[in-house]
Structure 1
Amino acid sequence: MNHRHRKILHALFAHPISGNINFKNVEHMLVELGAEIDNRSGARIGIKLNGHTIAVHHAHKSLPIDEVVQVRKFLETCGIDPADYPL
C-alpha cells in the first residue's frame, strides 16, 4: 500500500472524525486493500472485503462523517487495523 493510501486509512480512524476525506481516495484505498466495488441502484455502491459486505452512498466530494464511521466499523470487522500500515 502506498503512502497516500496509508494516509487515507489513518484519516478514517483519526480522532476527531474528519469530514474532509475525499470519497474517490477512500475508494482507491479500499481497492488497494483487495475490496471489490460494484455500483448499486441510486447513488449507492457495494463494497466486499474479506467476506464482509457494506453498501454506502456514493459521495461526490467529501465523505460525510456518518459514513466515515460506517466505513471505519466495516474495516474493523474486516480485520483492517491502521497500526498494520504505518505512515
Structure 2
Amino acid sequence: MNHHHRKILHALFAHPISANIDFKQVMHVLEEVGAEIDHKAGNRVGVKLNGHSVAFTHAHHDLPKAEVIQIRKFLESCGVTPDKYPL
C-alpha cells in the first residue's frame, strides 16, 4: 500500500470524522487491502472482504460523514485498521 492510500485509510479512522474524503480514493484503498468491488444498479457499490460484504451508496465526490462511519465499521469488522498500515 503506497503512502497516499495509507493517508486515506488513516483519514477514515480520524477523529473528528472527516467529510472531505474522495469516494474513488476509498475504493482504491479497499482494492489495495484485497476487497472485491462490484458496481450495482442505482449508484450502489458492493464490497466483499474477508468473508464480509456490504453495499455503499456511490458518492459523486466526497463521502458524507455517515458513509465514512459505515466504511470504518466495515473495515473494523474485516480486521483492517490503520495500525497495520503506519504512515
Specify the TM-score bucket, using the shorter chain as the normaliser: over 0.9
**Equivalent position of 1:57 in the other structure:** 57
TM-score (norm 2): 0.98
Offset at residue 39 of structure 1 (A): 1.1
| Shift of residue 36, structure 1, vs aligned partner | 0.4
Q: Who is 1:13 aligned against?
A: 13
1:84 aligns with 2:84: yes
Point out where structure 2 has 5 or more consecutive residues left out of the alignment: none
Structure 2 partner of 1:47: 47
- What is the rounded CA distance, in whole Å, between the counterparts of 1:74 and 1:55 in structure 2? 10
Give the deviation of 1:41 after TM superposition. Answer: 1.9
- The aligned counterpart of 2:4 is 4
Question: C-alpha displacement at 1:40, in angstroms?
Answer: 1.3
**Whole-Å separation in 2 of the counterparts to 1:69 and 1:81:** 13
Amino acid in the other structure paired with 1:53? S
Q: Which runs of 5+ in 1 are unaligned?
A: none
Letter in 1 for 2:65: I
Q: TM-score, normalised by structure 1?
A: 0.98
Query: Which residue of 1 is the match for residue 29 of structure 2?
Result: 29
Structure 1 runs (4+) greater than 3 angstroms displaced: none
